[in-house]
Structure 1
Amino acid sequence: MEKWYGSAGICIDQEGRILMVLQGKTEEEKRWTIPSGGLETGETFAECCLREVWEETGYRAELIKPLFVKNGTSYGIEVEVHYFELRVIGGTAAIQDPDELIHEIAWKHPHELDELVLSFPEDQGFLMDYAAGVHS
């Protein structure tokens, strides 16, 4: 089985909101997730994460620290996703995704996650706990 490698960035703002994007192919149901994407040739996981945040949201970010690596199967594909804590340091919300999969950018309060259709539902508990821990 082929393995997909990628990175995901968790950005929490001053109000404890999580930076999220609404994604999906044109014909698919759109789902919410944190900015993330696939590793490109010659790129580190940290570089991938910062690039994906820029492409999907228009925000420039800096890496605070690596958080964890998620290994498993997602949508029938074996995946390895490296999660990082980031801080937004510039830019403005603008979709510039070359894959044309991003449809909206928003800062979501952790309590809103219960109401959203998530691309990766297994991340909900972690995101809620993480946002609460950053701003406790």
Structure 2
Amino acid sequence: MKEWRGAAAICVNDKREVLVVRGMGTDLWSVPSGGIEPGESPEECCIREVKEETGCEVEVLRRLQVKQTVIKGIAVTTYYFHVEMSGGYLEVNDPDQNIEEACWKSIGEFARLSQMYPEDLPLLQNITESF
């Protein structure tokens, strides 16, 4: 079975809003994430993907979970990290042209949007509530 490994970032600001992105030509929202490149650690991937997809520079606070699933016959492993913004500013500069919009949303707003990974919502709620 083919495998894909990636990393996802959960970033919460001081207003308890979550950093989220919307894919090109879709109304589905998710946290910033992407595939791990050769020689890259999950943490390095997480930091790079957030920068590419949102313009924000982040540092990893801790690993939250590892999600394993199978999508269309591909074994998918995604490492989730709790990160905090350390620099940069919000702008989409995605070299892969996959991201159309990046913004901060309250967990209530995000819960009402169409989500790419609805199973992630409880994790996001836990992180924002612990702030």
> Normalising by the residue count of structure 2, what TM-score does the alignment of the two structures yield?
0.94
Specify which of 70, 73, 79 is matched with residue 70 of structure 2: 73
Counterpart contact for 1:111–1:128, Cα < 8 Å: no
Matches of 1:17 and 1:114, distance apart in 2: 12
Superposed CA RMSD: 1.2
The list of structure 1 runs, each at least 4 consecutive aligned residues, that deviate by more than 3 angstroms after superposition, is none
Counterpart of 2:22 in structure 1 is 22
Matches of 1:36 and 1:99, distance apart in 2: 12
Identity across the alignment (%): 38
Q: Secondary structure at the match of 1:90?
A: strand
Q: Which runs of 5+ in 2 are unaligned?
A: none
Q: Does 1:103 align with 2:100?
A: yes
What per-residue deviation string (whole Å, max 9, x for no partner) do you get for residues 82-104 of structure 1? 01111101111111111101011
1:1-136 equivalence runs, <5 A: 1-24=1-24, 26=25, 29-74=26-71, 76-133=73-130, 135=131
Structure 1 window deviating more from structure 2 (65-74 vs 81-90): it is 65-74
What per-residue deviation string (whole Å, max 9, x for no partner) do you get for residues 47-76 of structure 1? 000000000000111111111111112355
Q: Which runs of 5+ in 1 are unaligned?
A: none
> Normalising by the residue count of structure 1, what TM-score does the alignment of the two structures yield?
0.91
Matches of 2:74 and 2:115, distance apart in 1: 17
Q: Figure out how many residues of one structure are paired with residues of the other and give that number.
A: 131
Structure 1 window deviating more from structure 2 (94-103 vs 46-55): it is 94-103
